[in-house]
Structure 1
Amino acid sequence: MPLRRRLLALVALVLAFCLIAGGALTYWHGLRKVDLEMSSAIDVGSSAVSDALSTIGPSADALSQVRRLISSFDGDRHLSARLISPDGKVTSASSLQPPSDPPPRWLYWLLSGSPRARLFDMPGELKQFGTIAIAADSHNEVGEVWEDLKLKFAIIGSFCFIVLALIYASLGRALRPLEQLSSALDRVGEGDYTAHVSEDGPEDLKLIYRAFNRMAGQLRDSEQQNQRLNEQLSTVQEEERSEIARDLHDEIGPFLFAADVDAQAIPLLVSRGEADEAVDRSKAIRQSVQHMQVHLRGVLSRLRPALLIDQGLTHAVENLVAFWKARRPRIEFRMDIEDARYPTAIEDTAFRVLQEGTSNAVRHGQPTSIGLAARRTDNGMLRIVVTDDGSGITAKGTRGFGLPGMRERVASLDGRLSIADREEGKGVMLIVELPLPASTGSAARQEPLSESAA
């Protein structure tokens, strides 16, 4: 077998092994994801049914209330509910939302796992109506895994094809047969592209010698250029991965959390009959999803948050506080933000720190009060402080992705970050200090603003 084909076969074998390993890892991840989603759906549904049954008392329309409880599961992606009469007949049942892209049967068989269902006996006089059964259906969740699987394998397949094509073309050039100049070719075959032959002898051979020397020189230059490009590519890729990971966490994370909070509140509001509030929560979820969609579409273009560019840090923090007040009205927010403009990188990092610190406090600390401050110090630093009166570091931990992301952002600006329990009482204090340029002032953003206006 020619050397080029043997090398291609070896590379193809390695890629196939990686593909198989990736498929196994994807299967494990999908199985775990489906299991967690179904378990969570059963738990949430059980809580909703239990809460609803506790509010239904003996009355003339008790059966209607029970049936409305069953119909409240209509359109659910993961749960179905049935009312089973004492003689075992289904008297009322909800309908599931069908998956947008139904998964193949073999994938559903692999990922669906064991059936998950729970029965709820009616309390008191409601027993005459029978039993409520809720069951988890994983078709939609497996459908999501199927969509992710198709996308991943399309990307991997394209990557493998491009790699093999590039290797094939490169080997065709590097292993071009040179029947004469055997000693020099041996050196080139060993990777020594400094090989050079004397350009003397017959004119016909001189043409070959010159061609060989040109080829060797081109190979040498190409190798050096490829090495430089590979180093630059590795650096750029790593920087891009880190930056995108931080941006996705900073922009998407809070809205995912807010959507989760609103989604958990909707069943309770519906069970209480607070339909208007439930509609408001659903609108808030849609707004959060729209925000995430906009950010995901713009992440590759590296757009900066227009809020910071156009109106400054103070306005951005005011919007952040308004965002959380709408979702956690019982939390008191205290702001002490200096009304000044700073360089783009400083304002972006300051806002990310305040945003992540607030999100962590709300998520993990259960605080009643959160303080946000950002002021210039006498030693030319921008001091950013986030405090809360929650449960503290010991209770909530500091291993989330947000803290490493903040450390990376702060370190990239030669800043300092510290986080500890507050000395005067319960809660956490996050302090970040960023060095400011000597010329920082109200005109720090003048040029970018002018460009934006143009």
Structure 2
Amino acid sequence: MDATGQIGAFGDPSAKDRPQRPAMRLRAIALTGSATAWLATFAITLVVVLGNARDSVREETDSAFRMASAVATMRLPTAFERRDVMAEAARIAVDIRGQRHVTAELRDRSGRAVELPPAPGPEHPAPRWIADLLRPEPRSDLIPVTQYPNVLGVLEIRTEPSDEIAEAWQDLRVLLPMLAVMALVAIGVTMAVTGLVLRRLGLLGAALEQMRQGRLDERAPRAGLAELDRLTEDVNALAAHLARERAENRRLQARMMTLAEAERARIASDLHDEIGPQLFALQAALGQAARHRPEPELAETLSAIDRHAAAIRKSARAAIDDLRLSPTEGISLVDTVQELLLEFQDMAPEVELALDAPPELPEPDEAGQIALYRFLRESVLNALRHAAPRRVRVELQGDDGALTARVCDDGTGPAALSGKRGLGQTGMRDRATALGASYQPPRRQAGWTITEFRIPQA
């Protein structure tokens, strides 16, 4: 059942002509949505963290660079002092190299670098792509090393943010797994909630399927979720409403069947009271005319009229018997069926007729008893007329809140198996539909022809 589709079909005449979009699964939507949200969160977090790390690296290196330049300028001897200025500049360069975020290089007057101890680097350097992202614009300062009146060399101080970048990378290495774990937890929680909702929706779907199959006494269980509980209450209310409507419809159908039986009885009574005496009077008049010894041609005509009148009387009697076919009020179904089989035994003494019924059989209502009686009479009569059976077995069973009547015969099989459906089968199917019963037309099974009528009990 698709309420949306129904509304579209009735509310918009062109809805059925539009191409239908492929349905999406809720699990796929939840997984895609949570994964997309995590990717967006990851990307935003990464951009923010890298931006903050870049600003931090720039601020730290600038501060260290300014301090190193100031300290070097203050510590270098003046041009008039009689000291080894190059040796002092080398010690200053080594000290700067030992500091964070900066490095230094000393060159002599010819531009050759003075050999200094290697500067310590970070234990766990950052990958190149991280270093390129976080590295600020390099800064450098050239401080001349002089001793009046000569320039002995130059001390170059540069920013070196590798250690600060390495620290940022270590923080990022801790943050990325945390983000991954948070993503897995978020996706897991989303899928668990989605699975819970789908299970509850599955219960609602099962209840709707029960309704579709006609079992309106089933009810959907509460889901434990406020929104779904409201939907569950609506589904159960719909099932209760349909059950009431079906019960009322069956009551009206049963009433119509009862009235139809009363009308059939009235018609049979009219036929018996009016046509019967007239046909009898006609045959009496024909007999009286024949006693006057008419001419041969007239005698032959009177004889023919007498034969036709007898045939009409026989047909009228059969019609009256068929119209009056209904169970006697106050007699149980088993007794009624036994009387029916005794009548058939007189019609076909060579056929073995048997009734299989439990001692305590639930009694159907009036409409149900009429429907079962007519089903049994029609089915047994068809077998005797068309299948030439040696044995016919009638079974009555009451189980699972229903009453089942079954007719089995070992004859040649009815013509209905060839694919044609007679008026008798159509009538039985209509009665079954009216009463909410089920009718199975004749079928062959292990050499027997079996037909069945199953009617629910109130």
TM category, shorter: 0.3 to 0.5
The two structures have a TM-score, normalised by structure 1, of: 0.40
Give the greater-gyration-radius structure (CA).
Answer: 2
The two structures have a TM-score, normalised by structure 2, of: 0.40
